[in-house]
Amino acid sequence: MTALGQPADPPYLRIAAELRTRIASGELRAGEKVPSTRRITQEWGVAMATATKALVVLRQEGLVRAVPGVGTVVHAPDSAPEAVMAVRARRHGKAPRGADPSLTSERVVRTAVAVADAQGSAGLSMRAIAGELGVSTMALYRHVPGKAELVELMADAVFGDIALPAQAPAHWRGRLEASARLQWALYRRHPWLAKVMSFTRPLISPNALALMEWTMDPVRELGLSANELLHVTVSLAGFVRGVAVNLEDEALAEQDTGLTDEEWMEVRSEEMGALISSGHYPMYERILADPEVDFSLDTMFDFGLARLLDGLTELMHERRPRPVGRGCRTE
């Protein structure tokens, strides 16, 4: 489990990142032509405008330059930008010239987490992170290849912060519930995280995988098939993430309006009441009339988790080990 729910970078940025990697690795050497806009449209299947924007990004970074009559080429070594020089220095076991020794990959990742916590996923950018660290944007590329890789490292880092309980529930239901609550608490601490997670295109996160291994440990003994194990794992994680994806939107809405969810509902209560009292919505009329009704993302999480575990009970019962012999039962 891991992943990318955050809106993906535009195609031109992804193309620029791949070309940047080719240059930094030496696949494209100084003075060599980089793919033309026409070649980019063919190789990546994008429009000409997108291809042009990708090359503009590399030009602005100083990685390439236009040569009349030749095309766009990689900059000469004596004028190569610091990102490329840093990669070359690392390959020879040297510290990049002018590198700040206090700027480490871990520091970049933790600063990125702090930026995302404060500004949301929309505010996360290499420029914002560089600003917090007091370095140039290009200096970050000494430590992370690009934003997509950085987000993956951020997710892995915060999953690594989860402290598993010393006394882990041994029963499958208790273990799944404990795991779901640990994940919910993590999403509450980092509201941006839910939007960067994906289950069809997962990020590579050892810490997230370790959490799910711990989660499913009692379940593995029940005789479920590999397909059932996968779907139980993803269903649990997907449920938590599905509720948590609203956390960042609610936090941003509160910042923008200055109103909590309860205060916003209070402001709209007269308008909502007039709509509901029309007689067309008897269910909602009953709900609004009951003072005991309590609804929030937390109550929705609690209710949905209990129902999910209830639904899994029948499957677990069917897969429970059968009696070994006459008069003997295996719990």
Burial of 153 (0-12, 13-18, 19+ CB in 10 A): buried
* Beta-bridge partners for 64: 74
Q: Which two tokens stand for residue 75?
A: 């900059």
Q: Is the pTM of this model over 0.85?
A: no
**Angstrom distances, CA of residue 107 to CA of 103, 104, 119, 134, 290:** 6, 5, 18, 12, 51
Query: CB–CB of 191/120 below 8 Å?
Result: yes
Please state, in angstroms and rounded to a whole number, the distance separating the CA atoms of residues 181 and 197. Answer: 17
Query: CB–CB of 296/261 below 8 Å?
Result: yes
- The count of other CB atoms within 10 Å of the CB of residue 164 is 12
Q: For 198, list phi and psi in degrees, rounded to 5.
A: -150, 150
Per-residue tens of pLDDT for the chain, all 331 residues:
444 444 567 888 999 899 998 888 888 888 788 898 888 998 999 888 888 888 888 887 778 887 766 678 887 544 344 444 444 444 444 544 445 667 899 999 999 999 999 888 888 988 899 999 999 888 898 888 888 889 999 999 999 999 998 888 999 999 999 999 999 999 999 999 999 898 777 778 899 999 999 999 999 888 899 999 999 999 999 999 999 999 998 887 877 777 877 777 778 888 888 888 888 889 988 988 888 888 889 999 999 999 999 999 988 887 765 554 544 444 4
Query: CB–CB of 64/25 below 8 Å?
Result: no
The DSSP result for 140-167, as a single string, is GGGT-S-HHHHHHHHHHHHHHT----SS
